[in-house]
Amino acid sequence: MDENDRAELARLAPWPTLGERDAGKLPEAELYEDVPPHLKNDLVRWVASVLSNEQELARRVLNRFRVSWIPNSQASSYASYPRSHQDAVIRIVSGNLAGIESPRPLDPLSVVDAVISLHPGWEDLDSDGYGRTWQDQWLEHLLALIDLLLDTGSAWHVDAELRGLYRRVDPTATEAWRQARELATSVGSTAAAANLETAWREVYGRRPNPSASYGAAVKAVEAVAVPLLNPGTGSTVHAAARKFRKELDQWRFTLLEKSDMDPGTGSADVVSAMLDRLLTGETGRHTSADHNRDSTQAESEAAVHLAVILVQWFTSGAVHRAQ
Protein backbone atom coordinates (compact mmCIF):
# COMPACT_ATOMS: atom_id res chain seq x y z
CA MET A 1 0.00 0.00 0.00
CA ASP A 2 1.52 3.34 -1.04
CA GLU A 3 1.21 6.76 0.60
CA ASN A 4 -1.86 7.70 -1.47
CA ASP A 5 -3.68 4.54 -0.38
CA ARG A 6 -2.84 5.18 3.28
CA ALA A 7 -4.00 8.78 2.98
CA GLU A 8 -7.32 7.62 1.50
CA LEU A 9 -7.87 5.15 4.34
CA ALA A 10 -7.11 7.88 6.87
CA ARG A 11 -9.74 10.15 5.31
CA LEU A 12 -12.32 7.36 5.40
CA ALA A 13 -11.93 7.22 9.18
CA PRO A 14 -13.36 9.74 11.66
CA TRP A 15 -10.93 12.38 12.86
CA PRO A 16 -9.41 11.09 16.13
CA THR A 17 -10.18 12.81 19.38
CA LEU A 18 -7.20 14.01 21.38
CA GLY A 19 -7.88 11.22 23.85
CA GLU A 20 -7.81 8.58 21.12
CA ARG A 21 -4.63 10.00 19.68
CA ASP A 22 -2.86 10.08 23.05
CA ALA A 23 -3.95 6.52 23.75
CA GLY A 24 -2.74 5.35 20.35
CA LYS A 25 -6.21 4.05 19.50
CA LEU A 26 -6.90 5.75 16.21
CA PRO A 27 -10.35 5.10 14.68
CA GLU A 28 -10.41 2.78 11.69
CA ALA A 29 -11.87 3.53 8.26
CA GLU A 30 -15.65 3.19 8.13
CA LEU A 31 -17.86 2.95 5.07
CA TYR A 32 -21.46 4.16 4.82
CA GLU A 33 -23.60 2.46 2.18
CA ASP A 34 -26.29 5.09 1.73
CA VAL A 35 -26.48 8.79 2.64
CA PRO A 36 -25.77 9.25 6.35
CA PRO A 37 -26.95 12.45 8.07
CA HIS A 38 -23.45 13.94 8.07
CA LEU A 39 -23.30 13.65 4.25
CA LYS A 40 -26.87 14.63 3.33
CA ASN A 41 -26.75 18.44 3.49
CA ASP A 42 -23.48 18.80 1.59
CA LEU A 43 -24.57 16.25 -1.03
CA VAL A 44 -27.80 18.21 -1.62
CA ARG A 45 -25.76 21.42 -1.96
CA TRP A 46 -23.44 19.70 -4.45
CA VAL A 47 -26.35 18.59 -6.62
CA ALA A 48 -27.91 22.05 -6.44
CA SER A 49 -24.63 23.64 -7.54
CA VAL A 50 -24.19 21.22 -10.45
CA LEU A 51 -27.77 21.74 -11.66
CA SER A 52 -27.87 25.51 -11.18
CA ASN A 53 -27.68 26.13 -14.95
CA GLU A 54 -28.53 22.62 -16.15
CA GLN A 55 -32.24 22.48 -16.91
CA GLU A 56 -31.79 19.89 -19.67
CA LEU A 57 -29.59 17.65 -17.50
CA ALA A 58 -32.21 17.70 -14.72
CA ARG A 59 -34.90 16.88 -17.27
CA ARG A 60 -32.90 13.91 -18.59
CA VAL A 61 -32.27 12.54 -15.09
CA LEU A 62 -35.99 12.72 -14.23
CA ASN A 63 -36.96 11.11 -17.54
CA ARG A 64 -34.45 8.30 -17.14
CA PHE A 65 -35.92 7.49 -13.71
CA ARG A 66 -39.43 7.81 -15.20
CA VAL A 67 -40.31 10.53 -12.72
CA SER A 68 -43.59 12.41 -12.85
CA TRP A 69 -44.10 15.45 -10.67
CA ILE A 70 -46.54 18.25 -9.93
CA PRO A 71 -44.94 21.68 -10.48
CA ASN A 72 -45.48 24.20 -7.72
CA SER A 73 -46.95 26.60 -10.29
CA GLN A 74 -49.73 24.11 -11.05
CA ALA A 75 -50.54 23.34 -7.45
CA SER A 76 -50.46 26.62 -5.59
CA SER A 77 -51.98 25.03 -2.50
CA TYR A 78 -48.99 22.70 -2.23
CA ALA A 79 -46.13 25.10 -1.58
CA SER A 80 -43.73 22.25 -0.89
CA TYR A 81 -44.00 20.81 -4.42
CA PRO A 82 -41.11 21.20 -6.91
CA ARG A 83 -40.74 24.50 -8.76
CA SER A 84 -38.58 23.18 -11.62
CA HIS A 85 -36.84 20.10 -12.98
CA GLN A 86 -33.72 21.04 -11.03
CA ASP A 87 -35.74 21.43 -7.84
CA ALA A 88 -37.36 18.02 -8.37
CA VAL A 89 -33.95 16.32 -8.64
CA ILE A 90 -32.64 18.18 -5.58
CA ARG A 91 -35.71 17.15 -3.57
CA ILE A 92 -35.20 13.49 -4.47
CA VAL A 93 -31.60 13.65 -3.24
CA SER A 94 -32.79 15.33 -0.02
CA GLY A 95 -35.46 12.66 0.50
CA ASN A 96 -38.40 15.03 0.03
CA LEU A 97 -40.69 13.19 -2.41
CA ALA A 98 -43.80 15.34 -2.00
CA GLY A 99 -45.50 15.55 -5.40
CA ILE A 100 -42.92 13.21 -6.98
CA GLU A 101 -43.74 9.74 -8.27
CA SER A 102 -41.78 7.07 -10.13
CA PRO A 103 -42.08 3.33 -10.79
CA ARG A 104 -38.28 3.22 -10.37
CA PRO A 105 -36.44 3.22 -7.01
CA LEU A 106 -35.46 6.79 -6.16
CA ASP A 107 -32.53 6.37 -3.79
CA PRO A 108 -30.42 9.56 -3.61
CA LEU A 109 -27.06 8.06 -4.60
CA SER A 110 -28.47 6.45 -7.74
CA VAL A 111 -29.81 9.85 -8.77
CA VAL A 112 -26.38 11.39 -8.11
CA ASP A 113 -24.90 8.59 -10.22
CA ALA A 114 -27.21 9.61 -13.09
CA VAL A 115 -26.29 13.29 -12.70
CA ILE A 116 -22.60 12.35 -13.01
CA SER A 117 -23.04 9.98 -15.94
CA LEU A 118 -25.35 12.23 -18.00
CA HIS A 119 -23.58 15.55 -17.37
CA PRO A 120 -22.58 17.28 -20.65
CA GLY A 121 -19.30 18.40 -19.09
CA TRP A 122 -17.72 15.09 -20.14
CA GLU A 123 -17.41 16.72 -23.55
CA ASP A 124 -15.22 19.78 -24.10
CA LEU A 125 -17.91 22.36 -24.80
CA ASP A 126 -17.99 26.15 -25.15
CA SER A 127 -16.08 28.48 -22.86
CA ASP A 128 -17.93 30.36 -20.13
CA GLY A 129 -16.34 33.62 -21.30
CA TYR A 130 -13.63 33.58 -18.62
CA GLY A 131 -11.25 31.20 -20.37
CA ARG A 132 -12.69 28.09 -18.71
CA THR A 133 -14.48 25.39 -20.64
CA TRP A 134 -17.59 23.62 -19.47
CA GLN A 135 -15.33 20.61 -18.95
CA ASP A 136 -13.12 22.62 -16.57
CA GLN A 137 -16.13 23.57 -14.47
CA TRP A 138 -17.33 19.98 -14.42
CA LEU A 139 -13.89 18.78 -13.28
CA GLU A 140 -14.05 21.18 -10.34
CA HIS A 141 -17.44 19.75 -9.38
CA LEU A 142 -16.11 16.18 -9.62
CA LEU A 143 -13.08 16.92 -7.47
CA ALA A 144 -15.33 18.49 -4.85
CA LEU A 145 -17.54 15.38 -4.80
CA ILE A 146 -14.52 13.06 -4.58
CA ASP A 147 -13.33 14.96 -1.50
CA LEU A 148 -16.82 15.02 0.02
CA LEU A 149 -17.33 11.26 -0.32
CA LEU A 150 -13.88 10.56 1.11
CA ASP A 151 -14.26 12.88 4.10
CA THR A 152 -17.68 11.48 4.99
CA GLY A 153 -16.61 7.82 4.76
CA SER A 154 -18.87 6.89 1.85
CA ALA A 155 -18.68 3.34 0.51
CA TRP A 156 -18.95 4.93 -2.95
CA HIS A 157 -16.45 6.93 -4.97
CA VAL A 158 -16.41 8.76 -8.30
CA ASP A 159 -14.79 6.85 -11.14
CA ALA A 160 -14.11 9.44 -13.84
CA GLU A 161 -13.15 6.79 -16.38
CA LEU A 162 -16.43 4.90 -15.99
CA ARG A 163 -18.36 8.13 -15.38
CA GLY A 164 -20.32 7.30 -12.28
CA LEU A 165 -20.40 6.16 -8.67
CA TYR A 166 -18.72 2.84 -7.93
CA ARG A 167 -18.16 0.84 -4.77
CA ARG A 168 -14.78 1.37 -3.17
CA VAL A 169 -12.53 -1.61 -3.87
CA ASP A 170 -9.04 -2.29 -2.57
CA PRO A 171 -6.75 0.09 -4.52
CA THR A 172 -4.36 -2.71 -5.48
CA ALA A 173 -7.19 -4.78 -6.97
CA THR A 174 -8.51 -1.75 -8.84
CA GLU A 175 -5.10 -0.98 -10.29
CA ALA A 176 -4.69 -4.61 -11.41
CA TRP A 177 -8.02 -4.33 -13.27
CA ARG A 178 -6.92 -1.12 -14.99
CA GLN A 179 -3.56 -2.58 -15.98
CA ALA A 180 -5.18 -5.73 -17.39
CA ARG A 181 -7.43 -3.57 -19.57
CA GLU A 182 -4.49 -1.49 -20.76
CA LEU A 183 -2.45 -4.60 -21.55
CA ALA A 184 -5.33 -6.19 -23.48
CA THR A 185 -5.76 -2.99 -25.50
CA SER A 186 -2.01 -2.79 -26.22
CA VAL A 187 -2.01 -6.27 -27.80
CA GLY A 188 -5.10 -5.48 -29.88
CA SER A 189 -7.74 -7.22 -27.78
CA THR A 190 -10.20 -4.38 -27.41
CA ALA A 191 -12.96 -6.93 -26.80
CA ALA A 192 -11.20 -8.18 -23.66
CA ALA A 193 -10.72 -4.61 -22.40
CA ALA A 194 -14.34 -3.69 -23.11
CA ASN A 195 -15.68 -6.78 -21.37
CA LEU A 196 -13.49 -6.19 -18.30
CA GLU A 197 -14.97 -2.70 -18.13
CA THR A 198 -18.50 -4.07 -18.40
CA ALA A 199 -17.82 -6.74 -15.78
CA TRP A 200 -16.56 -4.11 -13.33
CA ARG A 201 -19.48 -1.77 -13.96
CA GLU A 202 -22.07 -4.53 -13.52
CA VAL A 203 -20.65 -5.78 -10.23
CA TYR A 204 -19.47 -2.57 -8.52
CA GLY A 205 -21.84 0.06 -9.96
CA ARG A 206 -24.97 1.47 -8.35
CA ARG A 207 -27.17 -1.07 -10.15
CA PRO A 208 -25.33 -4.41 -9.75
CA ASN A 209 -26.17 -7.25 -12.13
CA PRO A 210 -23.99 -10.14 -10.94
CA SER A 211 -24.96 -12.52 -13.75
CA ALA A 212 -24.21 -9.92 -16.43
CA SER A 213 -20.91 -9.16 -14.72
CA TYR A 214 -19.93 -12.83 -14.59
CA GLY A 215 -20.82 -13.28 -18.26
CA ALA A 216 -18.70 -10.29 -19.25
CA ALA A 217 -15.78 -11.61 -17.20
CA VAL A 218 -15.93 -14.91 -19.11
CA LYS A 219 -16.12 -13.07 -22.44
CA ALA A 220 -13.04 -11.03 -21.50
CA VAL A 221 -11.05 -14.20 -20.91
CA GLU A 222 -12.47 -15.79 -24.06
CA ALA A 223 -11.24 -12.84 -26.14
CA VAL A 224 -7.61 -13.51 -25.17
CA ALA A 225 -7.63 -17.26 -24.43
CA VAL A 226 -9.12 -18.60 -27.67
CA PRO A 227 -6.61 -16.92 -30.03
CA LEU A 228 -3.77 -18.35 -27.92
CA LEU A 229 -5.06 -21.80 -26.99
CA ASN A 230 -7.12 -22.67 -30.05
CA PRO A 231 -6.26 -20.16 -32.81
CA GLY A 232 -8.02 -19.90 -36.13
CA THR A 233 -11.01 -21.98 -35.10
CA GLY A 234 -13.56 -19.46 -33.88
CA SER A 235 -14.18 -21.83 -30.99
CA THR A 236 -15.68 -20.98 -27.62
CA VAL A 237 -13.65 -20.52 -24.48
CA HIS A 238 -15.10 -23.81 -23.20
CA ALA A 239 -13.69 -25.70 -26.21
CA ALA A 240 -10.37 -23.91 -25.84
CA ALA A 241 -10.23 -24.82 -22.15
CA ARG A 242 -10.87 -28.50 -22.92
CA LYS A 243 -8.12 -28.49 -25.55
CA PHE A 244 -5.76 -26.74 -23.15
CA ARG A 245 -6.45 -29.35 -20.47
CA LYS A 246 -5.65 -32.22 -22.84
CA GLU A 247 -2.45 -30.59 -24.09
CA LEU A 248 -1.02 -29.29 -20.81
CA ASP A 249 2.32 -30.98 -21.47
CA GLN A 250 2.69 -28.68 -24.50
CA TRP A 251 2.31 -25.50 -22.44
CA ARG A 252 4.45 -23.68 -19.90
CA PHE A 253 3.78 -21.04 -17.24
CA THR A 254 6.15 -18.42 -15.93
CA LEU A 255 5.80 -19.46 -12.26
CA LEU A 256 7.82 -22.52 -11.27
CA GLU A 257 6.72 -25.34 -8.99
CA LYS A 258 10.34 -26.30 -8.22
CA SER A 259 13.24 -23.99 -7.46
CA ASP A 260 15.74 -25.91 -9.64
CA MET A 261 13.76 -25.42 -12.86
CA ASP A 262 14.76 -23.08 -15.68
CA PRO A 263 12.90 -19.74 -15.79
CA GLY A 264 9.58 -19.87 -17.66
CA THR A 265 9.29 -23.67 -17.64
CA GLY A 266 6.64 -24.08 -14.94
CA SER A 267 3.63 -26.33 -15.41
CA ALA A 268 0.49 -24.65 -16.73
CA ASP A 269 -1.82 -26.82 -14.63
CA VAL A 270 -2.65 -23.96 -12.25
CA VAL A 271 -3.74 -21.82 -15.21
CA SER A 272 -5.94 -24.63 -16.51
CA ALA A 273 -7.48 -25.16 -13.07
CA MET A 274 -8.28 -21.45 -12.69
CA LEU A 275 -9.77 -21.28 -16.18
CA ASP A 276 -11.93 -24.33 -15.50
CA ARG A 277 -13.12 -22.91 -12.18
CA LEU A 278 -14.11 -19.62 -13.84
CA LEU A 279 -16.17 -21.44 -16.48
CA THR A 280 -17.75 -23.95 -14.11
CA GLY A 281 -18.70 -21.21 -11.67
CA GLU A 282 -20.95 -19.43 -14.20
CA THR A 283 -24.13 -20.92 -12.78
CA GLY A 284 -26.46 -19.49 -15.40
CA ARG A 285 -24.89 -21.54 -18.19
CA HIS A 286 -24.87 -25.08 -16.82
CA THR A 287 -25.94 -27.78 -19.28
CA SER A 288 -28.49 -29.03 -16.78
CA ALA A 289 -31.37 -26.58 -16.45
CA ASP A 290 -32.01 -27.88 -12.93
CA HIS A 291 -28.71 -26.39 -11.78
CA ASN A 292 -29.05 -23.03 -13.55
CA ARG A 293 -29.42 -19.95 -11.37
CA ASP A 294 -28.30 -16.34 -11.31
CA SER A 295 -24.80 -15.62 -10.06
CA THR A 296 -24.50 -14.12 -6.59
CA GLN A 297 -22.69 -10.87 -5.88
CA ALA A 298 -19.84 -12.74 -4.17
CA GLU A 299 -19.48 -15.16 -7.08
CA SER A 300 -19.40 -12.33 -9.58
CA GLU A 301 -16.80 -10.36 -7.62
CA ALA A 302 -14.55 -13.44 -7.45
CA ALA A 303 -15.05 -14.10 -11.17
CA VAL A 304 -14.12 -10.54 -12.15
CA HIS A 305 -10.88 -10.60 -10.20
CA LEU A 306 -10.05 -14.08 -11.50
CA ALA A 307 -10.69 -12.86 -15.05
CA VAL A 308 -8.33 -9.92 -14.46
CA ILE A 309 -5.54 -12.37 -13.57
CA LEU A 310 -6.24 -14.68 -16.51
CA VAL A 311 -6.40 -11.82 -19.02
CA GLN A 312 -3.07 -10.55 -17.74
CA TRP A 313 -1.48 -14.00 -17.98
CA PHE A 314 -2.82 -14.78 -21.46
CA THR A 315 -1.76 -11.42 -22.88
CA SER A 316 1.61 -10.92 -21.17
CA GLY A 317 3.32 -14.13 -22.32
CA ALA A 318 3.12 -15.72 -18.87
CA VAL A 319 1.38 -18.68 -20.58
CA HIS A 320 3.27 -19.94 -23.64
CA ARG A 321 3.92 -23.06 -25.66
CA ALA A 322 6.81 -25.29 -24.64
CA GLN A 323 9.97 -24.76 -26.67
Each residue's pLDDT expressed in tens, for the chain with a length of 323 residues: 567 667 777 888 899 999 998 998 888 888 999 999 999 999 999 999 999 989 999 999 999 999 998 876 654 555 567 889 999 999 999 999 988 999 998 999 999 999 999 999 888 655 454 445 667 889 999 999 999 999 999 999 999 888 999 999 888 898 899 999 999 999 999 999 999 999 999 999 998 999 999 999 999 999 999 999 998 877 899 999 999 999 999 999 999 888 888 888 899 999 999 999 999 999 877 555 666 789 999 999 999 999 999 999 999 999 999 98
**Which residues contact residue 149 at a Cβ distance below 8 angstroms, ignoring those fewer than 6 apart?**
39, 156, 157, 158
Q: What's the rounded Cα separation, in Å, for the pair 85 and 99?
A: 12
DSSP, res 262: P
CATH assignment of 169-321?
1.20.120
Please state, in angstroms and rounded to a whole number, the distance separating the CA atoms of residues 216 and 41: 38
* E runs forming strands in 1-145: 68-69, 100-101
Task: Provide the residue type at 289 as one letter.
Answer: A
Running DSSP on this structure, what letter comes out for residue 53?
T
Give the span between the Cα atoms of 86 and 57, in whole angstroms.
8
How does 233-266 read in b/e, with b if 16+ C-beta sit within 10 Å?
eebebbebbbebeeeeeebbbbeeeeeeeeeeeb
β-bridge partners, 159: 164
User: How many angstroms separate the CA atoms of 179 and 296, rounded?
Assistant: 26
Q: What pLDDT sits at residue 254?
A: 93
Domain range list for the chain = 37-159, 169-321
Report how far apart the first and last C-alpha atoms of the chain are (Å, whole number). 38
